[in-house]
Every structure is written in C-alpha cells, then in structure tokens.
Amino acid sequence: MRRWLLILTMIGLFFRSLVARDIILIKKFSPDDRIGDWLKIIARKKIKTTLVYPFGLPKEKKPMEKLLDDGIISLALAVENEPFWPALDEYGADLTALIANLRLPDEFSQQSDALFLQQPYSPGLLNSALATGYKTIFNLAAPAKLNNVIQRWNNLLIINVAPLIFSDVEECKNYLSSSSAAVVTLYLDEKNPFGPEQFGEIADSLVADRLIFARQISLTDFAPVSDINMFEARPDILNSPSLIARGRALQLVHQAFQDYKNSGRAEVAVIRQVEDKIFRLYSADRLIADGKNEFWNDWREIFKLLAVPVPEVVLASSSPVTGEDISADYRTENLRSWKNINPENILSRFSVEISSGPEMIFRVEMSTTPAEDFVWDIYIDLNNRRGAGSTRLLFSDTDNLDPEDGWEWALTISKNFATLYKFRNFRYEETKKYPVVFDETGRQFSLTVPRRDLGLSPQYWGYLLLVRRPENNLWKIGDVLETGPAGFHPERLKMLHW
C-alpha cells in the first residue's frame, strides 16, 4: 500500500511570548486522505507549506501551480524504497547518482533544493547532497535528543523531526502553544489521524495566538556544527550481525560487477539490470528490515545475471541470521614475512581487534622503544579491487601500493594523537582525530576507533602498517607489517625508499 507524505511547514513570529517561533508540521497520508481538501485549507489560510514529492502528489504542476507560484508551497524530494544511507558511504558514485537523479518533471520551472529522509543520514549523504545543490534536509530518523533541533552543517540545514503521538486535537494544540523551543516539529501519521478539518482547527488556534506565517528560516539563524553522525545513538543497527553480513555481500557483488564490466563480455542490458538490482539491495527494507530474505534473493540473482558463481564466503549468511556475535582478531605476530625488504625490524606485532561492539582496536608493538619523532601509518583497503582507492602513500611522492591494494581510509599516528584520512574524489581529506594510548615502556600503543567512522564490515578488510622515521629531511619507511583476511595482498608494496 502506497503511503503519502506531506510536510506542512508553518513559519512565523509568536508575539505573545515575544520569542521567534517556527512550527513545522509533517503529515503522512493514508490512501483515504483528501489531498484536494488539504490544499484548499493551505491556500485559504496561506500556510507556508512543504510537500514531499512524489508521494501522493500529482505528477504534474497544474493542480499545485498557483500555490507554487505564490510561494505558499514548495516541494521536498524523497526516494521511494529509500536506501539505508550509511551502507552507501563506501560507494560514493552510487550515492551521488541516487541523489542527483531525484528530479521534478520538466514542466516544473524550478528544481527542489530540499530532501526528505526517513532513514538515518550518513556523512557521505551529506557530502553528496551538498555537492548536488541541496540546502535543506528534513530528517525523520533523528535520535530523541535531536528532536526539534535544527543543525547547520556547512551550507546545509538539517531539520530534525519529533515523531510524537497525540490522542486528540486539543493535546496537539497544547503541545504547540506551550512548547518553549524556538523550533517546534509536529509529525502526524496514521496514529495521529487528523483530517483537513481538524488541521484547519489547529491552524486557527495558532492564528489566534498571533502566529504570523512570514519569517523564513536561514543559515545565519544557526551556529554551524562540525561533527554530525546519525549512528551515535544507534549502535544496535550498525553492529547487528545481519547488517555486517550484508555489508560484506555488497562488497562482493560490487567487485563481481566491476570484473564483469572489465571482462570484454559485458552487455549494456545486463549492466542496466544489475545496476537496478544493486540499488534495490541498498533499500532499508532489504538491508535492515528484510523479513522475507528479499536481499539475499536479489543478491543471488545478480550473480546469475553476471554468469559467475555465488561466493561461498557468505553463503551461510544468506539464511536467516542467528544473532551470534561477530569476532575477528587479525594478528601479525613475530611473523617476518617482510624480512627480505625489512632491514630494521622495528615492528614486532600488529593486530586489529573487531567484535560486535561499537569500536575496533588497533594494537602495535615495537621491538625497541621508538624515537619521539617516529610516525606510524595504517592503510585500510576495503575491497582489494584494482582502481578502487589510492595507491599513493600519504605525504610521499615516491612510494606506491600495487593497484589492487589502494586504500580508502588511512590513519597517521604520532605520540599524541591519530588522524583519520579518507580518500574520495581523487584526493584525501582529514576527517577525525583520536587519542593514542602508549604503555609505560613506550613500545606498545593502542588506538580505539568507532566502527561507525569507517564502515560496515571491517572484519573483511586488509590492513597495512608502516613505521616512518626522519632521515636527511625525508620521512623514510623503516618497517612494514600487514594483517587481514586471505585475498588481500599488501605484501606487493613496491617502490619504497629505505
């Protein structure tokens, strides 16, 4: 059953309390709702309104033309079968394509600059939305502490919606009139079955309280924030065994798809079918709420289209998840696989510890107490795929990895802190900093990183540790260790200067 959504944004000044007040009402329609009657109420009372497109709205401009032209209503775009956005952070091109393809029909003279989300956003989504010209995000999936909070991130406004339930119209009116928040959000779905007449009654009470629908929200009204991550309050989703298994499955299907496109036997029709099915795999219904195993059915179908075997490594995961914890501890311990190119033996042990908890831990042990100015680099390869990630090492013009071993994430570690870098759009950028804990000897240290900062499936990645030391005004590599599952080959590191 298709559900229809309507955002009713009523903006103004509340003179009785002398506090600027923005009231944002959000209505999710059922098939029986009378959209025409709602539009008449909005037009008659001149309520500034944002409608979510395309859910339940006419596909042409004409029925809404006067309200649009008069600035009474505007449109926010939503994705049908909305993706679970954090799963796309590893696939920036797909994420940007999904956002960029959200468009109004050509007969609309202007495109929308607002998005409506019912799933948790991610840093990648915010970057893509900003890059494709969006200015506002209505967020229905905010943690409770962000209800009625508007955040400014760069040039984006994120309006976090409070999903409250009211027993009747009076309770709703009391909530709106008594709230002390400068911005009040009200979400009405099937559990709040207010029809257009009841909505008109609510609007009349706001007018009686001298609320004037005039003032516009702008970026300058809000202080900017630098760190926005919707997963802070939802480790239960990010760390679920089901999502971790499906994150690995996405990596495998992307790798198989890339191999197919480079195989010389690729057909345009097959490529289009696979792209459509991959986008379906991203949907929240399949990734985090799939009670019918539709994710795994679609996933297997992609391998059939590509005419390649289904990978055995996740076949066991394609049955219903048992809820067992994941656990992985990749260690390179007293293993001198690098001794042929490793003259100094500075490193003794490198491990990456991963569990079902919200954090992963990197541990490093040195053979001797290092000099104060040593620097350690950890390179993380998400997929072992040629052409993915950067083969150039940080802060080096001469050192490279083999094409299959390009890194998507890197950590640079000093005595005081670690800095996280992400490779994106052919350049790397600094994203986070973390404390580093050394033991009393100075020979061992640990670094704890929230898994939400890196992605869904760290137990399937490859990790490479370098230690650098200064010599003659150059940072020279003094030792190398690698760890991770079979299939990753950072031992092919080449063109090092020692």
CA distance 365 to 122: 34
Range of the domain at 43: 4-230
Question: How many structural domains is the chain composed of?
Answer: 3
Q: Which residues contact 26 (CB under 8 A, 6 or more apart)?
A: 5, 6, 7, 8, 138, 140, 161, 185, 186, 187, 188
Q: 239 and 141: one domain?
A: no
304 and 348 belong to one structural domain: no
What is the pairing mode between strands 73-77 and 49-53? parallel
DSSP label at residue 164? -
Same-domain status, 139 and 261: no
pLDDT over 50 at 323, yes or no: no
Average pLDDT of the chain? Answer: 76
The CATH number of residue 458's host domain is 2.60.40.10
Tell me: pLDDT of 485 over 60: yes
Question: In this structure, are 444 and 407 located in the same domain?
Answer: yes
CA atoms within 13 Å, Cβ hemisphere of 437: 7
pLDDT for the residue numbered 334: 43
Question: Rounded to an integer, what distance in angstroms lies between the CA atom of residue 456 and that of residue 248?
Answer: 8
Query: Rounded mean pLDDT of 467-477?
Result: 75
Picking from 292, 318, 344, the residue at the C-terminal end of a domain is 318
**Which of 263, 287, 318 is a domain's end point?**
318
What is the rounded distance in angstroms from the CA atom of residue 313 to the CA atom of residue 249?
A: 9
Cβ atoms of 104 and 112 closer than 8 Å: yes
Q: Which of 196, 230, 264 is the last residue of a domain?
A: 230
Q: How far apart are CA 99 and CA 156, in angstroms?
A: 15
Is the pLDDT at 183 greater than 80, yes or no?
no
Asked if pLDDT for residue 460 goes beyond 60, the answer is: yes
The answer to whether residues 338 and 307 belong to one domain is: no
pLDDT digits (tens, 9 = 90+) for 289-319: 777 788 988 999 999 999 988 876 554 444 4
Band the pLDDT of 434: cuts 50, 70, 90. very high
What pLDDT is recorded for position 312? 62
Query: Is 137 in contact with 115 (CB distance < 8 Å)?
Result: yes
Closest CA to 414 of 439, 394, 435, 393: 435
pLDDT of residue 387: 67
> What integer pLDDT is reported at residue 75 of this predicted model?
87
* pLDDT in the model for residue 424: 73
- Which residue in the block uniquely carries the two structure tokens 């569990």? 355
- 251-277 pLDDT per residue, tens: 889 888 988 888 888 899 999 999 999
> According to the model, what pLDDT value does residue 301 have?
92
| Percent of the chain whose predicted confidence (pLDDT) is above 90 | 10
CATH number of the domain within which 125 lies: 3.20.110.20
